[in-house]
Protein backbone atom coordinates (compact mmCIF):
# COMPACT_ATOMS: atom_id res chain seq x y z
CA UNK A 1 0.00 0.00 0.00
CA UNK A 2 2.81 2.41 0.94
CA UNK A 3 4.71 1.63 -2.23
CA UNK A 4 1.55 2.07 -4.32
CA UNK A 5 0.99 5.50 -2.79
CA UNK A 6 4.59 6.45 -3.44
CA UNK A 7 4.50 5.15 -7.00
CA UNK A 8 1.31 7.11 -7.69
CA UNK A 9 2.82 10.37 -6.43
CA UNK A 10 5.93 9.85 -8.53
CA UNK A 11 3.83 8.99 -11.61
CA UNK A 12 1.73 12.11 -11.10
CA UNK A 13 4.81 14.31 -10.99
CA UNK A 14 6.32 12.56 -14.00
CA UNK A 15 3.09 13.10 -15.97
CA UNK A 16 3.17 16.79 -15.14
CA UNK A 17 6.89 16.91 -15.86
CA UNK A 18 6.59 15.28 -19.28
CA UNK A 19 3.37 14.87 -21.24
CA UNK A 20 1.15 17.39 -19.45
CA UNK A 21 3.74 20.15 -19.49
CA UNK A 22 4.22 19.63 -23.20
CA UNK A 23 0.51 19.36 -23.98
CA UNK A 24 -0.23 22.48 -21.96
CA UNK A 25 2.42 24.35 -23.91
CA UNK A 26 1.30 23.24 -27.36
CA UNK A 27 -1.09 25.27 -29.46
CA UNK A 28 -3.23 22.30 -30.37
CA UNK A 29 -6.64 20.91 -29.55
CA UNK A 30 -5.13 17.46 -29.09
CA UNK A 31 -4.68 17.69 -25.33
CA UNK A 32 -6.08 14.38 -24.26
CA UNK A 33 -4.81 14.18 -20.69
CA UNK A 34 -4.81 17.90 -19.87
CA UNK A 35 -8.57 18.38 -19.26
CA UNK A 36 -8.71 15.25 -17.11
CA UNK A 37 -5.83 16.21 -14.83
CA UNK A 38 -6.95 19.85 -14.73
CA UNK A 39 -10.34 18.68 -13.50
CA UNK A 40 -8.78 16.34 -10.94
CA UNK A 41 -6.44 18.95 -9.51
CA UNK A 42 -8.77 21.95 -9.77
CA UNK A 43 -7.46 24.37 -7.15
CA UNK A 44 -3.78 23.32 -7.50
CA UNK A 45 -3.43 22.52 -11.21
CA UNK A 46 -1.27 25.49 -12.23
CA UNK A 47 0.58 25.48 -8.92
CA UNK A 48 1.56 21.82 -9.40
CA UNK A 49 2.29 22.41 -13.07
CA UNK A 50 4.90 25.09 -12.36
CA UNK A 51 6.29 23.08 -9.46
CA UNK A 52 6.83 20.08 -11.73
CA UNK A 53 8.24 22.32 -14.44
CA UNK A 54 10.55 24.63 -12.49
CA UNK A 55 10.51 23.55 -8.82
CA UNK A 56 8.88 26.88 -7.94
CA UNK A 57 5.74 26.98 -5.79
CA UNK A 58 3.09 29.70 -6.19
CA UNK A 59 -0.50 30.07 -5.05
CA UNK A 60 -2.94 28.98 -7.76
CA UNK A 61 -3.89 32.48 -8.95
CA UNK A 62 -0.28 33.61 -9.23
CA UNK A 63 0.72 30.34 -10.91
CA UNK A 64 -2.04 30.77 -13.52
CA UNK A 65 -0.83 34.33 -14.28
CA UNK A 66 2.78 33.11 -14.66
CA UNK A 67 1.65 30.24 -16.91
CA UNK A 68 -0.22 32.60 -19.24
CA UNK A 69 2.89 34.79 -19.48
CA UNK A 70 5.10 31.75 -20.17
CA UNK A 71 2.89 30.67 -23.08
CA UNK A 72 2.94 34.21 -24.48
CA UNK A 73 6.72 34.28 -24.11
CA UNK A 74 6.99 30.89 -25.80
CA UNK A 75 5.20 32.06 -28.94
CA UNK A 76 7.25 35.28 -29.04
CA UNK A 77 10.53 33.36 -28.77
CA UNK A 78 9.39 30.86 -31.41
CA UNK A 79 8.50 33.64 -33.84
CA UNK A 80 11.82 35.44 -33.37
CA UNK A 81 13.92 32.28 -33.67
CA UNK A 82 11.90 30.78 -36.50
CA UNK A 83 11.44 27.45 -34.73
CA UNK A 84 9.23 25.96 -32.07
CA UNK A 85 10.69 26.72 -28.65
CA UNK A 86 9.71 24.18 -26.02
CA UNK A 87 7.73 25.31 -23.02
CA UNK A 88 10.54 24.32 -20.66
CA UNK A 89 13.00 26.60 -22.48
CA UNK A 90 10.48 29.44 -22.46
CA UNK A 91 9.75 28.94 -18.77
CA UNK A 92 13.44 28.91 -17.90
CA UNK A 93 14.08 32.13 -19.84
CA UNK A 94 10.97 33.74 -18.32
CA UNK A 95 11.85 32.97 -14.70
CA UNK A 96 15.59 33.61 -15.07
CA UNK A 97 15.89 36.57 -17.41
CA UNK A 98 12.52 38.30 -17.10
CA UNK A 99 11.45 37.65 -13.51
CA UNK A 100 14.86 36.96 -11.98
CA UNK A 101 13.47 34.21 -9.75
CA UNK A 102 16.11 31.67 -10.76
CA UNK A 103 19.79 32.58 -10.38
CA UNK A 104 21.65 29.34 -11.12
CA UNK A 105 19.39 26.86 -12.96
CA UNK A 106 20.17 23.15 -12.68
CA UNK A 107 18.91 20.44 -15.01
CA UNK A 108 17.53 17.45 -13.11
CA UNK A 109 15.90 14.29 -14.43
CA UNK A 110 12.15 14.27 -13.76
CA UNK A 111 12.36 10.90 -11.99
CA UNK A 112 15.02 12.28 -9.62
CA UNK A 113 12.95 15.42 -9.08
CA UNK A 114 9.83 13.37 -8.37
CA UNK A 115 11.64 11.19 -5.84
CA UNK A 116 13.12 14.25 -4.12
CA UNK A 117 9.72 15.92 -4.03
CA UNK A 118 8.18 12.80 -2.49
CA UNK A 119 10.81 12.78 0.27
CA UNK A 120 10.23 16.47 0.95
CA UNK A 121 6.52 16.06 1.58
CA UNK A 122 6.44 12.76 3.49
CA UNK A 123 7.46 11.41 6.86
CA UNK A 124 10.37 9.00 6.46
CA UNK A 125 9.19 6.51 9.10
CA UNK A 126 5.49 6.10 8.25
CA UNK A 127 5.59 7.36 4.63
CA UNK A 128 2.48 9.39 5.38
CA UNK A 129 2.46 13.02 4.33
CA UNK A 130 4.29 15.33 6.76
CA UNK A 131 3.07 18.23 8.90
CA UNK A 132 3.86 20.88 6.29
CA UNK A 133 2.00 19.05 3.54
CA UNK A 134 -0.98 18.60 5.88
CA UNK A 135 -1.14 22.34 6.57
CA UNK A 136 -0.87 23.13 2.84
CA UNK A 137 -3.64 20.62 2.10
CA UNK A 138 -5.91 22.39 4.60
CA UNK A 139 -5.11 25.72 2.94
CA UNK A 140 -5.97 24.33 -0.48
CA UNK A 141 -9.27 22.92 0.77
CA UNK A 142 -10.16 26.22 2.45
CA UNK A 143 -9.54 28.06 -0.83
CA UNK A 144 -11.69 25.54 -2.69
CA UNK A 145 -14.61 25.96 -0.25
CA UNK A 146 -14.39 29.74 -0.55
CA UNK A 147 -14.39 29.57 -4.33
CA UNK A 148 -16.76 26.70 -5.08
CA UNK A 149 -18.63 26.09 -1.83
CA UNK A 150 -19.00 22.65 -0.30
CA UNK A 151 -17.20 21.43 2.80
CA UNK A 152 -14.34 19.33 4.11
CA UNK A 153 -13.27 17.97 7.48
CA UNK A 154 -10.09 17.55 9.49
CA UNK A 155 -9.45 14.62 11.82
CA UNK A 156 -6.67 14.79 14.40
CA UNK A 157 -5.60 11.72 16.42
CA UNK A 158 -3.18 11.08 19.24
CA UNK A 159 -2.03 7.70 20.55
CA UNK A 160 -3.00 7.44 24.21
CA UNK A 161 -0.20 7.01 26.77
CA UNK A 162 2.36 6.54 24.00
CA UNK A 163 5.21 7.44 26.36
CA UNK A 164 4.19 4.57 28.63
CA UNK A 165 4.48 2.16 25.69
CA UNK A 166 7.85 3.60 24.63
CA UNK A 167 9.29 3.48 28.14
CA UNK A 168 8.18 -0.13 28.65
CA UNK A 169 9.01 -1.56 25.22
CA UNK A 170 11.67 0.74 23.79
CA UNK A 171 11.66 3.22 20.93
CA UNK A 172 12.05 0.63 18.20
CA UNK A 173 8.84 -1.04 19.33
CA UNK A 174 7.27 2.42 19.52
CA UNK A 175 8.26 3.08 15.91
CA UNK A 176 6.54 -0.17 14.91
CA UNK A 177 3.34 1.09 16.54
CA UNK A 178 3.60 4.34 14.57
CA UNK A 179 4.02 2.42 11.32
CA UNK A 180 1.05 0.18 12.12
CA UNK A 181 -0.99 3.27 13.03
CA UNK A 182 -0.17 4.75 9.64
CA UNK A 183 -1.40 1.57 7.93
CA UNK A 184 -4.69 1.75 9.80
CA UNK A 185 -5.20 5.36 8.71
CA UNK A 186 -4.49 4.46 5.09
CA UNK A 187 -7.17 1.78 5.24
CA UNK A 188 -9.75 4.48 5.93
CA UNK A 189 -8.80 7.27 3.51
CA UNK A 190 -10.09 7.65 -0.01
CA UNK A 191 -8.08 8.66 -3.05
CA UNK A 192 -7.66 12.41 -2.88
CA UNK A 193 -7.76 12.55 0.94
CA UNK A 194 -4.61 13.38 2.88
CA UNK A 195 -3.31 11.23 5.76
CA UNK A 196 -0.34 12.73 7.58
CA UNK A 197 1.93 12.27 10.54
CA UNK A 198 1.18 15.52 12.30
CA UNK A 199 4.04 15.18 14.75
CA UNK A 200 5.31 12.61 17.26
CA UNK A 201 2.41 10.26 17.94
CA UNK A 202 -0.18 12.60 16.39
CA UNK A 203 -1.81 11.96 13.02
CA UNK A 204 -4.12 14.03 10.85
CA UNK A 205 -6.49 13.40 7.96
CA UNK A 206 -8.02 15.91 5.55
CA UNK A 207 -11.25 14.56 4.02
CA UNK A 208 -12.59 16.42 1.02
CA UNK A 209 -16.38 16.86 0.71
CA UNK A 210 -17.08 15.34 4.13
CA UNK A 211 -19.44 17.01 6.59
CA UNK A 212 -19.30 16.60 10.37
CA UNK A 213 -21.41 13.44 10.45
CA UNK A 214 -19.48 11.55 7.78
CA UNK A 215 -16.12 12.64 9.20
CA UNK A 216 -17.16 11.59 12.71
CA UNK A 217 -18.19 8.16 11.45
CA UNK A 218 -14.81 7.72 9.74
CA UNK A 219 -12.99 8.83 12.88
CA UNK A 220 -15.00 6.39 15.00
CA UNK A 221 -14.22 3.51 12.63
CA UNK A 222 -10.53 4.34 12.90
CA UNK A 223 -10.75 4.46 16.70
CA UNK A 224 -12.46 1.06 16.87
CA UNK A 225 -10.03 -0.48 14.35
CA UNK A 226 -7.14 0.85 16.39
CA UNK A 227 -8.46 -0.61 19.64
CA UNK A 228 -9.07 -4.02 18.07
CA UNK A 229 -5.65 -4.16 16.43
CA UNK A 230 -3.25 -6.59 18.10
CA UNK A 231 -0.22 -4.42 18.92
CA UNK A 232 2.81 -6.21 20.35
CA UNK A 233 3.19 -6.07 24.14
CA UNK A 234 0.22 -3.71 24.52
CA UNK A 235 -0.64 -5.25 27.90
CA UNK A 236 1.79 -2.72 29.45
CA UNK A 237 -0.71 0.07 28.71
CA UNK A 238 -3.03 1.38 31.48
CA UNK A 239 -6.09 -0.11 29.75
CA UNK A 240 -4.21 -3.19 28.53
CA UNK A 241 -4.60 -1.97 24.93
CA UNK A 242 -3.11 0.67 22.64
CA UNK A 243 -5.85 3.21 21.94
CA UNK A 244 -6.24 6.60 20.30
CA UNK A 245 -8.21 9.76 20.95
CA UNK A 246 -9.43 12.06 18.20
CA UNK A 247 -11.06 15.35 17.33
CA UNK A 248 -13.10 16.47 14.31
CA UNK A 249 -13.52 19.92 12.76
CA UNK A 250 -15.44 20.85 9.62
CA UNK A 251 -15.14 23.78 7.22
CA UNK A 252 -17.08 26.07 6.94
CA UNK A 253 -19.12 25.04 10.00
CA UNK A 254 -16.24 25.34 12.49
CA UNK A 255 -14.22 27.99 10.69
CA UNK A 256 -13.20 29.37 7.33
CA UNK A 257 -9.50 29.82 7.98
CA UNK A 258 -6.78 27.19 8.39
CA UNK A 259 -5.58 28.47 11.77
CA UNK A 260 -9.10 28.50 13.16
CA UNK A 261 -9.87 24.98 11.95
CA UNK A 262 -6.60 23.56 13.28
CA UNK A 263 -7.20 25.28 16.62
CA UNK A 264 -10.73 23.84 16.83
CA UNK A 265 -9.71 20.28 15.99
CA UNK A 266 -6.79 20.51 18.42
CA UNK A 267 -9.13 21.64 21.22
CA UNK A 268 -11.47 18.74 20.49
CA UNK A 269 -8.63 16.25 20.52
CA UNK A 270 -7.58 17.40 23.96
CA UNK A 271 -11.20 17.37 25.11
CA UNK A 272 -11.23 13.68 24.19
CA UNK A 273 -8.08 13.23 26.25
CA UNK A 274 -9.58 15.13 29.19
CA UNK A 275 -12.74 13.00 29.14
CA UNK A 276 -10.84 9.75 29.54
CA UNK A 277 -9.21 9.00 26.15
CA UNK A 278 -10.15 6.31 23.62
CA UNK A 279 -12.91 8.51 22.21
CA UNK A 280 -13.71 11.02 19.44
CA UNK A 281 -14.91 14.54 20.23
CA UNK A 282 -16.79 16.71 17.75
CA UNK A 283 -17.44 19.59 20.18
CA UNK A 284 -16.07 21.06 23.41
CA UNK A 285 -18.38 21.68 26.37
Residues 114 and 240 in one domain: no
Structure confidence by residue, pLDDT tens digits, 91-116: 888 888 888 887 766 555 555 555 55
Residues 98 and 168 in one domain: no
DSSP state, residue 247: E
pLDDT tens per residue across all 285 residues of the chain: 444 444 555 455 555 555 555 555 554 444 555 555 566 556 677 887 787 777 788 888 888 899 889 888 988 888 888 888 878 888 888 888 888 887 766 555 555 555 555 667 889 899 899 998 899 899 989 988 988 899 999 999 999 999 999 999 999 999 999 999 999 999 998 888 999 999 999 999 999 999 999 999 999 999 999 999 999 999 999 999 999 999 999 999 999 999 999 999 999 999 999 999 999 999 865
Residues 143 and 111 in one domain: no
Residue 146 covered by a domain: yes
Residues 145 and 269 in one domain: yes
Residues 185 and 274 in one domain: yes
Domain boundary among 67, 100, 120: 120
Residue 207 covered by a domain: yes
Q: Number of structural domains, the chain? A: 2
Residues 137 and 87 in one domain: no
The pLDDT value given to residue 83:
85
DSSP characters over 70-133: HHHHHHHHHHHHTSPPPHHHHHHHIIIIIS---SS-----HHHHHHHHHHHTB-TTT-SB-HHH
Domain boundary among 120, 147, 167: 120
Residue 203 covered by a domain: yes
Residue 193 covered by a domain: yes
- Which domain covers residue 109, as residue numbers? 2-120
The pLDDT value given to residue 109:
54
Domain boundary among 67, 97, 120: 120
Residues 14 and 75 in one domain: yes
**Burial classification of residue 204, based on how many CB atoms lie within 10 Å of its CB (0-12 exposed, 13-18 middle, 19 or more buried):** buried
Residues 158 and 81 in one domain: no
Residues 149 and 110 in one domain: no
Residues 186 and 111 in one domain: no
Whether residue 127 lies in the annotated active site? no
Which listed residue (201, 202, 220, 253) is catalytic? 201
- Residue 231 — φ and ψ, nearest 5°? -80, 145
CATH number assigned to the domain comprising residue 142: 3.30.70.270
Residues 167 and 236 in one domain: yes
End-to-end CA distance of the chain: 39
Residues 142 and 202 in one domain: yes
Residue 126 covered by a domain: no
Amino acid sequence: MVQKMKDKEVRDLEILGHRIVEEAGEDTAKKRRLPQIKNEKKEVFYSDLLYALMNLRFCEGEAKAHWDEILKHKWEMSEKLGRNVGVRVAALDYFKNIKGLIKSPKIVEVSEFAATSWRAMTDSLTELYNHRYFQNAVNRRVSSVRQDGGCFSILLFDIDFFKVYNDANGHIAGDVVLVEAARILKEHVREGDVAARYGGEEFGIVIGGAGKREASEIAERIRVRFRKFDFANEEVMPSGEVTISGGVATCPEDGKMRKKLVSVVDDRLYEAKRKGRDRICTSVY
